[in-house]
Amino acid sequence: MTWLDLRRAALIVWCIISAVVLFVLASSFVTDASWLSGIFPECVWKRFGKECGLCGMTRGFLSISKGFWGESLQMNRGALPLYLTLLSNELFFSVFLTNFIITKMIRRKEDRECRL
């Protein structure tokens, strides 16, 4: 496997993960907390009376999506930095995807002109 193959594979994985993250971020604007609590199981750590590092992350994301920044910090302190990191990844991904599509369109146009 060459370096170019690894780079292409990493790019494909990044695109798939970015698409999933985009869906998660977009769904946080339209979903309700009560609906999500029915989908996701209760954290195993809560059975022992403790909380893990991700407890409250879903509620924190929903609070951020609704504009309640302070409330999200109360749910989980890591929700805001993670949300902003994922959001910046999505912005970078959209710029990359736009550039990729435009480049492909220009190459196709140049190929058509060369054939004629």
pLDDT digits (tens, 9 = 90+) for 44-59: 888 888 888 888 888 8
The type of residue at 21 is V
Dmax (CA) for the chain in angstroms is: 73
Query: Is-contact 25 86, C-beta < 8 A?
Result: yes
- Rounded distance, CA 97 to CA 82, Å? 22
Q: Is the pLDDT of residue 111 over 80?
A: no
pLDDT tens digit sequence for 58-84: 888 888 988 999 999 998 999 999 999
Distance between CA atoms of residues 55 and 49, nearest Å: 12
DSSP assigned state of 40: S
Long-range Cβ contact pairs of 62-67 (< 8 A, separation 24 or more): 62/28, 62/31, 62/33, 62/36, 64/28, 65/25, 65/28, 65/29
pLDDT at 90: 95
Q: What is the pLDDT of residue 64?
A: 92
- The pLDDT of residue 116: 63
Pull the structure tokens for residue 37: 């609590």
Domain count, the chain: 1
Cα 102 vs. chain centroid, distance in angstroms?
23
Q: Could you list the residue range(s) of the whole structural domain that residue 70 is in? A: 3-115
